[in-house]
Chains A and B, each alone.
Chain A
Amino acid sequence: MLSKKDIFQTQDMIDKRHLDIRTITMGISLLDCADTDVHACARKIYDKITRYAENLVSVGQDIEWEFGIPIVNKRISVTPISLVGAACRDDSLVPLAMAMDAAAKEVGVNFIGGFSALVQKGCTESDWKLIRSIPEAMRCTERVCASVNVGSTRAGINMDAVAEMGRIIKKTAAVTADNDGLGCAKRVVFANAVEDNPFMAGAFHGVGEPECVLNVGVSGPGVVYHALQSVKGQSFDVVAETVKKTAFRITRMGQIVGVEASRRLNVPFGIVDLSLAPTPAKGDSVARILEEMGLQVCGTHGTTAALALLNDAVKKGGVMASNHVGGLSGAFIPVSEDEGMIAAAEAGVLALDKLEAMTCVCSVGLDMIAVPGDTTAATISAIIADEAAIGMVNSKTTAVRIIPAPGKVVGDRVEMGGLLGSAPVMPVHPESSEDFIARGGRIPAPLQSLKN
C-alpha cells in the first residue's frame, strides 16, 4: 500500500524540485524517402514525418495529465539527412531541412533533429553537401537541429571535417547574427555520437534503429540537489548512495512514461536516457549540485572529481530502474542552460579549460558556450579537435556546441531565450592554432590496450 508520505514526496519533487520528463523523442527512419529530385525527396520527408508523428503531442499531453508529470518537450529525430539526400542531384540539401521544419510545425514539436552527417572516417559527396548546407539551413528554419560526427574511438578524427566545421560555425553565426548567432545553438559537432539520443541538438535516428521508435530523456538536477541538502557534511559514500537512490526514482518515472507513450502510439519503446539535464530555472542546476558537495563555486579545484562521482552514481542508480538504458546517459554541463554554471562563468571561476577537463568525466562536452565574435575558425576547429580527442581516447561521446557571438566580447552576454538560456561570453586562448588545423588528414584511431 502506498503511504501518504510517498505520494506527497512525489508531488513535492514535481512542484518544487523541477522533476519532469525532459523529452519524449520519436525516431523516424527516412531511408525510404530518397529521390534524385530534392523537392520530391522533401515532399516524401514531410509526408512521412507528419504521418508517423501525427499524435505524438496529443498523446504526450494526455500522459502528462494522467500521471501528473510534465513532459517538457515532444520532439522528433530522423535518419541523418546526408544519407537520405545522397541520391539528390542538387547542390544544396536546404530544401530537406525546410521540409523537416514544416513537418515539425505541423505536428507541433519544438525541435527536430537529424540534419546530420557521420563523417568520422571520411566524407561522401553528400556529406560535404550537407555540411555546407548547414549555415543556410540554420538561417531559414526555426526548429531543425544539425549535427556532424567528426570522430570515433574506432575511426580516429577526421581533421578535414574538423577544419571545415570551424568555418561552418563561423558562417552559421554570421548568417544568424541578428539573433546573436542563435543558429549555432542548434548545431553540434560530435565524437562517438550515439544513434538513440533523445536530446537536442544532437538527436538523430541511427541506421541501426527500427522504422520508428520512442526514446525518453529524464531530468531532475533539482531533485538530486535537494536530496544532497539532507546529507550535508557526510562522507562521499553517503553522497553516492543518495544520488543513486534519487536517480532510481527519476528513471522509473521515465520508464513508465516511455512505455505508456509507446503503447499508445503503437511504436516500439527504445531507451531511457539517464541524463541530468539542467534548465536556466533556479534550483534546476547541475553546478549547484557540485557546489552542494562542498565547492565554493563550480569550476574550482575538486569540480572534476565531484562531477565524476555524480555522473557515475546517476548511471548506477538509473540502470536498474529501466529495462533499456541508452542515449547519452550522464550529467550535462551546458553553460547557458544552467543557472549555476552561468554564475560561475560570470564570476570568472569557471573557464573553458576547466570545462574541458570536466567533459572527460561526464556526458557530453563543451555545450552552449559563447565565445568572442572574433574567435577564428581555426581556434574553433582546434577546440573541436581537443574535445573529439577526449571522446576518442576515453571511448565516450563528446560534443562541441559553441557560439562565436558576432560583435560580442568577453564580459558580454548572449541571450538565446527559453530553455537555451543566456551565456556569458568566455575567453579563449588568443594564440593561433592555424597551422595545426591547416594540416588536414586524419588523426589515427587510438590503441585500445596499454591503457595509462
Chain B
Amino acid sequence: MKAIVTVVGKDAVGIIANVCTELASYRVNVLDISQTVMQGYFTMMMVVEVSTCTVALAELCRVMDAKGQEMGLSIRVQREDIFEAMHRV
C-alpha cells in the first residue's frame, strides 16, 4: 500500500534528512519526492511504500505527526487512496 507524506513549514537545514531517517527506521521506502521552498516556506510531498512498515499505519501517522510537532512542522501521512477517490472518477 502506498501513502502520501506531506511536510509543510518554515525552511531549515536537515528537514528531508530527518523525515527520511524517521521513515527509514520504520522500514518505509520512499518512492518519489517533490519539494520546493517558497518565500521561506518548505513544502514537500513524498510517495512512500508502507506495506513493509514495521508498525500499524495509524501508529506511523501518529508518530510522524508527533515528530512534526517536535520539529515545528506539519507532517502528515495519509493513505494514497483517499486522494485517488476524491480526484479521479
Contacts and interface: CB of A to CB of B under 8 A. Distances in A.
Interface of A: 2, 4, 6-11, 61-63, 65-69, 249, 252-253, 255-256
Contacts of A63: 58
Interface of B is mostly: helix
Contact of B76 (A2, A11, A249): A11
Nearest to A69: B82
Given A10-B82, A66-B61, A66-B79, 18 more contacts: A2-B4, A4-B34, A4-B45, A6-B86, A6-B87, A7-B6, A8-B6, A8-B43, A9-B87, A10-B87, A62-B58, A65-B61, A66-B57, A67-B78, A68-B82, A69-B82, A249-B87, A253-B85
B34 A66 contact: no
Contacts of A68: 61, 76-78, 82
B80 A2 contact: yes
Given A66-B58, A68-B61, A2 B87 contact: yes
Interface of A is mostly: helix
Contacts of B6: 7-8, 11
Contact of A255 (B58, B79, B80, B85): B85
Interface residues of B, number: 23
A252 B85 CA distance: 6
Given A2-B84, A249-B86, A66 B45 contact: no
B26 interface: no
B83 interface: yes
Contacts of B57: 65-66
A62 B77 CA distance: 12
A256 B65 CA distance: 23
Interface of B: 4, 6, 34, 43, 45, 56-58, 61-62, 65, 76-87
26 contacts: A2-B4, A2-B87, A6-B86, A6-B87, A7-B4, A7-B45, A9-B87, A10-B86, A61-B58, A62-B56, A63-B58, A65-B61, A65-B62, A65-B65, A66-B61, A66-B79, A67-B82, A68-B77, A69-B82, A249-B87, A252-B85, A252-B86, A253-B82, A253-B86, A256-B81, A256-B82
A212 B74 CA distance: 38
A9 B34 CA distance: 16
A65 B87 contact: no
Contacts of A255: 85
Contacts of A4: 34, 45
B69 to A, nearest CB: 14
B32 to A, nearest CB: 9
A4 B84 CA distance: 12
Report the 5 A-B pairs with minimum CB-CB distance, sorted nearest first: A68-B78, A62-B58, A65-B61, A252-B85, A65-B58
Nearest to B56: A62
A63 B61 CA distance: 10
A2 B80 CA distance: 9
Task: Choose among B45, B62, B85 the residue with the greatest number of A CB atoms under 10 Å from its CB.
Answer: B85
Contacts of A7: 4, 6, 45, 83
Contacts of A67: 78-79, 82
A65 B85 CA distance: 17
